[in-house]
A = this chain, B = another copy of it.
Amino acid sequence: MGVLRLGHLEVCVTDLDKTLDHYTKIIGLREMDRQGDRVYLRCFDEYDHHSLILRKHDEAGMAYAAFKVESAEDLNQYEAALKADGLAVERLPAGSQYKKGEAVRFRLPTGQLIELYDYMEQPGREVGHLNPDPWPKEKVGIFPTHLDHVLLGGLDVRENIRIFREILGFHLSEQVMGPDGETMVGAFLFRTSTAHDIAFLNAPEDNTMSHFTYWLESKSDIIDAGDILGLNGVPIEAGPDRHGITRGLTIYFRDPCGHRNEVFTSSYLAQADMPPVTWTVEELAPGKKGVFCMTLGGFPETFGTEHSKCF
């Protein structure tokens, strides 16, 4: 009961064709449908209709991040609790969004738009649900299994974290403490059993998104993903590398509109009773292991400073 997972994102793109090529041919998502300015995409292993909406727009950025909840009752309770907390909440009627039921939206204190919804049409996995093959015969590009998490930024993300923990029932897997050793400047939060469905980090600007992330099955897939990016001329911002925080293997790169993507694997099983991990600011400096464990020579200057603006 409650939030199931990060269900989908809507991302605004200024060049739809080029960006669609990036997500379908290089990352290897499946195009599910088009409706007006929007293209609906998902990973081969997902069973809901879509996990990414690319929307043609004159400004790039994440439109909203949507979390699926288990029931209509969850939706009502969250709506009430968010209102009681003083947040402005908008209710979207069923049918107002393609293939989806009712939804509830609110803006975080740092400006990003968050949606909760309890229904999306389920075409089921691409391989079907009766005596299925392990995966489709036709693999394309990096071919991740599913959308994993999103990392949002703001000048002070503590209120975001409080809302996700106290109202939406997220658990804390890892936290980052500021220079005073007491002030939380980042948190990694989960509802599934992966290390994060969403994370927040202090950033130079409000209403920003660092990246959204696709899950790969295996360690060797990270190397293959790097090769596929190289073959297609997509510059790699960082990686292949081992994250200190969340312990996953990672590559950062950008889509043609500048949104940072991540491919990620080999993290750990997170659970509600796990003692959270704490990172102090000393281990986040260049040459320390907080952000990247492998590249101890220093992490990329771009990290955490060029969050894509949302609108």
Chain A residues packing against B (C-beta within 8 Å): 1, 4-5, 45, 47-48, 68, 70, 122, 124-125, 129-135, 137, 139, 145-146, 192-194, 215, 217-220, 222-223, 226-227, 229-237, 240-242, 244, 247, 249, 265-266, 268-269, 271-280, 282-283, 287, 289-290, 293-297
Bound form: Cα–Cα A236–B292 in Å: 11
Bound form: Cα–Cα A232–B134 in Å: 11
Task: Identify 6 residue pairs between A and B in the complex whose beta-carbon atoms are under 8 Å apart, listed by A's number.
Answer: A130-B278, A134-B227, A218-B219, A226-B241, A230-B294, A235-B297
Q: Which B-chain residue is minimally distant from A283 (CB atoms)?
A: B131
Closest 9 CB pairs of A and B: A220-B220, A218-B219, A193-B193, A230-B293, A226-B294, A235-B297, A192-B193, A131-B283, A235-B296
Bound form: Cα–Cα A130–B132 in Å: 43
Q: Which B-chain residue is minimally distant from A218 (CB atoms)?
A: B219
Bound form: Cα–Cα A283–B247 in Å: 34
Q: Are A272 and B70 in contact (CB-based, < 8 A)?
A: yes
Bound form: Cα–Cα A217–B134 in Å: 18
Q: Are A129 and B276 in contact (CB-based, < 8 A)?
A: yes
Chain B residues in 8 Å Cβ range of A192: 193, 269, 271
Q: Are A293 and B133 in contact (CB-based, < 8 A)?
A: yes
Bound form: Cα–Cα A289–B220 in Å: 21
Q: Are A296 and B230 in contact (CB-based, < 8 A)?
A: yes
Partner of A242, one of B125, B227, B274, B278: B227
